[in-house]
Amino acid sequence: MVCLRTVVIVAGISATLSGGVAADEDHKAFYSDKTLQMIIRSEAGSGYDQYARTFARHVTKYIPGASGMINRNMPGGGGITSVNHVYAVAPNDGTVITIVSQGLPAAQALGEAKGLRADMTKMHWLGSLISSNQLTITRRESETNSYEMARKRETIIGTVGIGSISAQIPVLLNKFTGTRFRLVTGYKGTEDLAIAMERGEIDGFAAMNMATLNSVFSRYIKENSINIIVQMGASKDPRLPGVPLMHEIAQSEEGRRVIEFFSLGVAVGRPLAVGPNVPAGRVALLREAFARTVTDPEFLAEAAKRNLDIQPTGWQDLTNIVDKIVNESKETLDLARAAFQ
């Protein structure tokens, strides 16, 4: 039985999350009567969308003088369209914030993000709202109801496309852990995959984000209608102690290294950033606003009401994770590329 509960965890204090850097008065005055924008990398109703909109409703109270924030959904290219817009088209003045696809730093490192103009190491990161493991799931009726069964029988797994994380995870599992997933490509997104699973067209799919399961697809939890086969992340989600962690079940050192590289992408979570040319003082102010928002009781209460887990990562730790991914060793990147050949 799937038994999960919403957990709201705030790690550390505001000074730790923001780095303790104060914005000067000139930059505080800049925001007087300004309306900010939140650029959202996916369609309305998605997990990214819910996190971004909930954050946007509260953050402006910590941006002195700001008159509010409007949300713009800009889906396309797995998040490439929105981040390119913020990087090179939108005003780089601190009035435009975006929520970035967690997989883009790894895609940049591997050279597999076709059309990506934004350099992830040059974005100014404000912090991440949640680091949430990626799950491989099957419908309750599937004979593949565990990792052990996934190694014994062929299991039909739906994917968005060969380059997507929904395909990367089962490919890595097949190559390095002995599963026998057969991939069916061409689905449009998580909602499309969920419908196909519910209809019995596929056994299941990978890359069901834990945070998205807990919010957008909470019905699966309430109805006990899925099996969780394996999880991908830096460490096990404490609510899933019995579900194997991908890099721990790798059958070779090579496999462990490759899976750990992709697992760092999961640690990026739901990150917020501004463009590369935003003045440093305004970046500092926005980082302070992020740190104060993620400890704000009203924000946390709304997040809990919407079943949105909040486990924030401060800007410095997030920056270090992104830099580590993009600057991964050539040896590991070559192993990662070879895994998909």
Condensed to tens digits (0 to 9), the pLDDT of residues 175-193 reads 999 999 999 998 888 889 9
The mean pLDDT of 217-239, rounded to a whole number, is 94
Judge residue 301's burial from the number of C-beta atoms within 10 Å of its C-beta, 0-12 exposed, 13-18 middle, 19 or more buried: exposed
Confidence of residue 2 (pLDDT cuts 50, 70, 90): very low
Condensed to tens digits (0 to 9), the pLDDT of residues 230-252 reads 999 988 999 999 999 999 999 99
> What pLDDT, on the 0 to 100 scale, is given for residue 17?
60
> What pLDDT, on the 0 to 100 scale, is given for residue 261?
93
Condensed to tens digits (0 to 9), the pLDDT of residues 103-158 reads 899 989 998 888 999 999 999 999 999 988 999 999 999 999 999 999 999 999 99
Rounded to whole angstroms, what are the CA distances from 90 to 6, 86, 175, 276? 35, 5, 41, 11
Condensed to tens digits (0 to 9), the pLDDT of residues 79-106 reads 999 999 999 999 999 999 999 998 899 9
Q: Is the pLDDT of residue 11 over 50?
A: no
Sequence-separated (6 or more) residues with CB below 8 Å from residue 2: 220, 221, 224, 226, 227, 228
Q: Hey, how many other C-beta atoms are within 10 angstroms of the C-beta on 319?
A: 20
Confidence of residue 24 (pLDDT cuts 50, 70, 90): low
> What pLDDT, on the 0 to 100 scale, is given for residue 16?
54
Two domains, one topology: 14-131+269-338 and 134-263: yes
Rounded to whole angstroms, what are the CA distances from 86 to 119, 123, 273? 11, 9, 9
Least confident residue range of 17-26, 199-208, 246-255, 312-321: 17-26
CATH superfamily of 134-263: Periplasmic binding protein-like II (3.40.190.10)
The Cα 110–Cα 337 span in angstroms is 7
> What pLDDT, on the 0 to 100 scale, is given for residue 4?
39
Topology of the domain covering 14-131+269-338: D-Maltodextrin-Binding Protein; domain 2 (3.40.190)
Which residues are 230's β-sheet partners? Answer: 136
Confidence of residue 25 (pLDDT cuts 50, 70, 90): low
Q: List the domain boundaries for the chain.
A: 14-131+269-338, 134-263
Q: Is the pLDDT of residue 163 over 80?
A: no
Residue 4 token pair: 């999960």
Asked if residue 146 lies in contact with residue 197, where contact means CB atoms within 8 angstroms, the answer is: no
